[in-house]
Amino acid sequence: MLQLSVLREQTDLVVAGLNKKNYKNATQEVQTILDLDSQRRSLQARHDEEQARANNLAREIGTLMKSGRKAEAEALKAETAALKIVTKNLLEELSEIEKNLQNVLVKLPNLPHSSVPEGKTPEDNEIVYQHGTIPELPATALPHWELIKKYDIIDFELGNKITGAGFPVYKKQGARLQRALINFFLDEALQAGFTEVQPPILVNEASGYGTGQLPDKDGQMYHATADNYYLIPTAEVPITNLYRDEIIALDKLPVRNAGYTPCFRREAGSWGADVRGLNRLHQFDKVEIVRIEEPEKSYAALEEMSQYIQSLLQKLELPYRVLRLCGGDMGFTSALTYDMEVFSAAQNRWLEVSSCSNFETYQANRLNLRYKPGSGKTQLLHTLNGSALALPRIVAALLENNQTEEGINLPAVLHSYCGFDKIT
């Protein structure tokens, strides 16, 4: 959530940033917030003045009573009673204004970093790096949704029977490959200095609000209405919320956590090859990395995270590219996002497998997540996260890019994890 002080002191910068993210009615929305904030501060000042008068009168009444001037004290008590009604009414007005202010403020997305390119669609994203050689497959090569049938390793029909579309069943070498990738990603994270955590996959409303999924993505999350819990769309939500309402000691920074969870998303895509097979699922596995940083160190941390994620793709021997997302294609809470895409040879297209983002103070402001630098006042921290990695499209690319007449060859780094080097 944007800080009110930023909206007041850097209004033009805020409006420009919102426009860069293609946020509609930016000027009008910001002015609405500033007007509500002005009303709030005026009411707060009036309340404080009246409360101060009431406190002074109470002290004066006490003095009069002690000196035996009871009649004068009783006269002042009537005035105090009237002041109580005034302050009560002001508090009610103030509460309503604050509620309205909060409802408008939480709808504003984060502001983009100055390096974010202009643009509205994925076609406007900036390619900042590309690595690896795109494999050339024979004309008989199959897309992964045909390969999984051929080798009987993932079953969408079974998943549809027991749950519904977008919930596949992994079996045989497919199940073992899933487990191998999860263990590989977690082991790599530990070696890179991340602390492993295993969080709940159901979160409460406060957690969804804290990282910005609520209210922005309310309809895209699976909601257990009886308990008002939400199935997580990513481990970012519970892992970052571990530090909600915390003041982290300076010597405990940076915080670096990694965790594996299944992820759940109700989002529906259009029909076609772009969402076929493993390209888009309602339930999928992912290892997430989360960092909490001092503000001046967060962008160096983002570059480190990007390099780390790229190292995983290199070890998996997958051709990939790194995109800097344009303003219109960025997430609601992000200030700067790098997307990593792998090339899927049988589909002849790039598939997003990771997003790596710096949220600056946006999430920390919602989470009340702070630190105390030296002897100064507490300040908001910066939060970052990245997929390291999401499994479905990684599996799709591994299957398609490495297919042969004899089977599907796996990268050497997975052999010991799988217990086999080829899917047959």
Which residues carry a binding-site annotation for ATP? 265-267, 352-355
Residue positions in the annotated binding site?
234, 265-267, 288, 352-355, 385
The three-state DSSP-derived secondary structure of 228-246 is CEEECCCCHHHHHHCCCCC
Instruction: Convert 138-157 to b/e letters by CB count within 10 Å (16 or more is b).
Output: eeebebbbebbeebebbbbe
Peptide bond into 389 cis (omega under 30): yes
Separation in Å, CA 330 to CA 26, 129, 149, 351 = 17, 18, 35, 16
Contact between 332 and 110 under an 8 Å Cβ cutoff? The reply is yes
Selection from 19, 23, 120 nearest residue 326 by Cα:
120
Selection from 120, 207, 167 nearest residue 392 by Cα:
167
Residue 395: exposure state from Cβ atoms within 10 A (0-12, 13-18, ≥19): buried
| Token pair recorded at residue 417 | 């994890």
Compute the distance between CA of residue 336 and CA of residue 128 in angstroms, rounded to an integer. 13
Residue positions in the annotated binding site for L-serine?
234, 265, 288, 385
- Terminal CA-CA length for the chain: 50
Compute the distance between CA of residue 179 and CA of residue 414 in angstroms, rounded to an integer. 10
Sign of CA dihedral 343, 349, 353, 355: positive
Compute the distance between CA of residue 243 and CA of residue 247 in angstroms, rounded to an integer. 8
